[in-house]
A and B are shown apart, each in its own frame.
Chain A
Amino acid sequence: MIELDGLTKRFGNKLAVDHLSFRVRPGMVTGFLGPNGAGKSTTMRMMLDLDNPTSGSVRIDGRRYRDLQEPLTHIGALLDAKSMHGGRSAYNNLLCLAQSNRIPASRVSHVLDTVGLSAVANKKSKGFSLGMGQRLGIAAALLGDPEILMFDEPVNGLDPEGIHWIRNLMKALAAEGRTIFVSSHLMSEMALTADHLVVIGQGRLLADTSMADFIHENSRSYVRVRSPERERLRDLLHAEGIVAVDSADGTLEIDGGAPERVGELAAEHRLVLHELSSQRASLEDAFMQMTAGTVEYHAHSEQDGAQPPPVGPHWGDTWNSGTDPGTGTGTGTGPGTGTDTGTGSGSGDTTKGA
C-alpha cells in the first residue's frame, strides 16, 4: 500500500505536483496516467525519496521511504531505462544493489533469468539496447522480491514481444497480491493492464477510479447512420425528436441513440440506409477530453497550419481552451486526437444495409 497525502512539488514558480492525495492498493495494477509533463515521474521520484516534496508526504506501508529497512525488499522501482553504470556488467550492476540491501547473490541470477538477460549477464550494460536496459531495470526492481512494484513507462523501447511480456508480468505480480503502480501516457496501454486508474494533469488529480467505472463513464456511445438521402433521414429523425449531428465524413451521429429505433424508423418510411452502427468513442478520446485543458506540450495539426493564419490568436492561445467536453470528439475529428485504436472498449457491432 502506498499513500500520498497532499503531495506537492514546486520548481521555481511552476507547480509540478499539486496536492496529490491517493492510495495505491495491493492485489491490483494501478495505472498512473497523464500527458507528458503532467508530473508523473516527479511524483514517482518523490515516492522513492529521491526528490524532496515541497509539502505533503508519502507513506510506504505506513512508513516513510527513508525509514524502511532494506528498502529494495519492500518496494522495487523502474524509473529510467538507463540508470545503471554502463561500464559495469549487468550481473555486477545488480550485485552491488543486492549487497547494499543484504539480498542473497543468488537472487541476481534468478531475476536476470526472469527478465531473459542471462545470456548477457556478463556484458557491460552500456552496449544494451533501450529494451535490454528496460529489462535490466525491471530485474533491479524485482531483485528484493518486494511487495510493491513501481514502473515508470515500462513499455518504452520494448518490442511487441517485450510489451506482451511486461503486461503479463504485471498482471501475474498483482495476482500474487502485490501492489503494482505503473505510469503511462497511453490510455490504450492502461486499458489492457490496469484494474484501477489514477489520472493526473498539470500535477492535479483528475480521476481516481476503477478501470470499469472509467470505461462506463467516459466512453460515449452513439449511433452512426449513413444514407444517400441524408436530409430526409434527418427530418424524419427530427420529427421523432431524435437529434442527429452531421459528422465530418457525411454520416449522421446520434448521441446515446438506439440503433433499433433508427432502423425501424427507416424501414417504416422505406428509406435506404448504407450503414447503421452503434459506436463507442475510444478510451483514448475520453482520456484526451479529460486532460485536454492540462496538456503541457501541444502539437499543432497540419490542418491548422494549412489554413490562413487567423487574425488574433498567438501560438499557445489554444493551450487552455481545450475541447468542450459536451460536444465530444467522436472519431477522427482531427490529428490532435491521435491514436484511435479501439482500446478494448468494444467498437460496436456494425449492421449494414436496410
Chain B
Amino acid sequence: MAAVPAVLNSEWTKIRTVSSTIWTLIAAFVVTVAMGAALSALLNSQFDDLPAAERATFDPTYVGFSGMVLGQLAMVVFGVLVVGTEYSSGMIRTSLAAVPQRGSLLFSKIAVAGVLALLVGLATSFVTFFLSQALLGDHRTGIGSENVLRAVFGGGLYMGLIAVFSMGVATMLRSSMLSLGILMPFFFLVSGILSAVPGAKTVARYFPDQAGSKIMQVVPDAMNSNPAPYGPWGGLGIMALWVIAALAGGYLVLKKRDA
C-alpha cells in the first residue's frame, strides 16, 4: 500500500504545478466578488425602484452573493480539470502505476483539491460579503447580525462542494470536455430555467445548486425567491448528498474500468 500522506503530498504537487489551478481559482474569486459588488452598488442606487415584494424580503447578504451564479462556473472548471486532465494527458496510467490503490489515489486527489477549493471559497465568500455590504450603503447588514455568519460561511462551503461535485462527475465521465459540456450548461442555464418553470420547479429545487444556495440566504424566501420545503442546512445537506453520490459513482467507475 502506498502511504496516504505520501499520496496527499504527491497530489498537492500535482495541483500546485499546473497553471490551470491558479487561473480557475482566481477567476472564481474575481468573478464572484466583482459581480456581487457591482450588483450591490446597483441595488443601492435603485432600491426604491424595486417591486414591493422584493423590498419586503430584501436580503443584503444574498444580494452580495449574486456573483456566485458565474463564479461557481469557474469552480466547476477547476474541479473538472483537476480530474479530467489526468485522462486527457494519459497521466492517469502513470498515476495508477505509481498508486495502484485506486481509492487512495482518488480520495487523496479529491481531499487536496477539495480543501483548496474550500479555502478559496471561504476567502471569496468573506471578501464578497464585506465589499458588497460596503457598497450597499444604508441597506447593508453586519456579520454579527442573526444568521449572517452562517450564510457567509455557507457561501464558502457551497463553492467547495460545487468543485468536489464536479470532480466526482469528471471521474465518472473520464473526460474534461464531456464533463464541462454537461456541467456548465446545467449550472448556468438548465437548473435556473427549470426552477422557474411551474411544473419542473418542485423537482428543480432538489438540484445541487438550487438546494445548496439556500445556505446563503439570511431572509427566508429572500428577494421573492421560490419557497423551499427545507431550511438552509437542509438544502446544504441535499447538496452534500449529490456530492456523495457523484463521488461514489466516480469511485465505482475508477475501480471497475480499465485505465
Contacts and interface: CB of A to CB of B under 8 A. Distances in A.
Determine chain A's interface SS by DSSP, over half rule.
loop
B225 interface: no
Contact of B13 (A45, A50, A69, A95): A95
A118 interface: no
Contact of A85 (B11, B91, B98, B258): B91
A92 B14 CA distance: 8
A69 B99 CA distance: 9
Contacts of A85: 14, 18, 85-86, 89, 91
Nearest to B257: A52
A86 B98 contact: no
Nearest to A65: B100
A99 B9 contact: yes
A66 B100 contact: yes
B94 A101 contact: no
A48 B13 contact: no
A68 B100 contact: yes
B6 interface: yes
Interface string A35-75: 00000000001001111100000000000011011111000
B94 A83 contact: yes
Contacts of A49: 96-97, 100
B91 A50 contact: no
Say whether chain B's binding surface is mostly helix, strand, loop, or mixed: helix
Interface string B1-19: 1110011011101100111
A80 B258 CA distance: 15
A92 B17 contact: yes
Contact of B10 (A51, A52, A100, A140): A100
A211 interface: no
Contacts of B2: 69-71, 100-101
A88 B89 CA distance: 11
Contact of A86 (B9, B89, B97, B99): B89
B259 to A, nearest CB: 4
Interface residues of B, number: 31
A254 B202 CA distance: 88
B98 A100 contact: yes
A72 B97 contact: yes
B97 A48 contact: yes
B45 interface: no
Contacts of A48: 93, 96-97, 100
B90 interface: yes
A45 B257 CA distance: 13
Given A89-B17, A96-B13, A101-B2, A84 B89 contact: yes
Interface string A77-110: 1011011111111001101110111100000000
A72 B17 CA distance: 21
B93 A96 contact: no
Interface of B: 1-3, 6-7, 9-11, 13-14, 17-20, 85-86, 89-91, 93-101, 256, 258-259
Interface of A: 45, 48-52, 65-66, 68-72, 77, 79-80, 82-89, 92-93, 95-97, 99-102, 140
Given A48-B93, A85-B18, A102-B3, 12 more contacts: A45-B258, A50-B93, A50-B97, A71-B98, A71-B100, A72-B98, A80-B93, A84-B90, A84-B91, A97-B10, A100-B98, A102-B6
- Nearest 5 CB-CB pairings of A with B: A100-B10, A92-B17, A51-B258, A99-B10, A83-B90
26 contacts: A45-B93, A45-B258, A45-B259, A48-B97, A49-B97, A66-B101, A70-B2, A71-B2, A71-B97, A72-B97, A83-B89, A83-B91, A83-B93, A84-B90, A85-B86, A85-B89, A87-B18, A87-B85, A88-B14, A92-B13, A96-B10, A96-B13, A99-B6, A99-B9, A100-B95, A101-B98
